[in-house]
Copies of this chain bind each other. A is one copy, B any other.
Amino acid sequence: MPKQVDHRERRETIARALWRVVAERGVAHLTLREVAQEAGISHGALQHYFSSREEMLSFAMDFASEQTSQRVGRRLAEFGARPHPRDVLRVMLTEMLPLHADARATSRMSAAYVLEALHDENVHARARGGLVEGRALVEKLVRQAIVDGHIRPDRDPVAETNLLLALTGLTPLIELDVITPREALAAVDQYLDRLFTGDEGSAGGKGE
């Protein structure tokens, strides 16, 4: 189905154009017209792919999440068939932080999407769904790591999961050049070291 593929490719080109508008010009410029211009297509052609600004935004966000998952998957492949939970968490967290161009684009898209969710019910529901799903994945990993003895059994899996996701709070510090990428990674590593206290199975910070 070559036509189907073209359609998907075109939508992805549009999503990347949208990310650039968010990152370089700001959410205030995030209109169908500006995205069409950035993607190098006509306003009418854009409307062929997305009937509303919200639909376009949600596709761009889904595509951002998909790209992040793929980056995480590729990096985890280097750790063999059964990567240590510390390594999995480290890769997930560092790919969610704006530490390189691709991660920066998806991180900025994600921040803009949360702000959009505050005043749009549909965006709120979709953004919430994505975050609930991601959070469930991390909680499952934390619970398994407790069962497997990698994390101490007296740790509360719900609070630990929330604290791990909170590490994305390093984002404004990185984006505003308050801390360096190296300092951000050092903070993540110190955090994970303490979570996996006494556990020797992990490759630690050696992946970087």
Contact = CB atoms under 8 A, between A and B. Distances in A.
Interface in A10-34: 22-28, 30-31
A111 interface: yes
A166 interface: yes
Interface stretch (A83-91, A112-120, A142-150): A112-120
Given A166-B167, A183-B162, A128 B177 contact: yes
Query: How many copies of this chain?
Result: 2
A194 interface: yes
A175 B28 contact: no
B163 A114 contact: no
A118 B166 contact: no
Interface in A136-186: 156, 158-160, 162-163, 165-173, 175-179, 183-184, 186
A144 B153 CA distance: 32
Interface residues of A, number: 52
A91 to B, nearest CB: 18
Contacts of A172: 114, 131, 168
A4 interface: no
Contacts of A191: 163
State the 9 A-B residue pairs at the shortest beta-carbon distance, nearest first: A169-B169, A166-B169, A162-B187, A128-B176, A27-B27, A168-B169, A159-B190, A159-B187, A166-B170
Interface of A: 22-28, 30-31, 108, 111-112, 114-120, 124, 127-128, 131-132, 135, 156, 158-160, 162-163, 165-173, 175-179, 183-184, 186-187, 190-191, 194
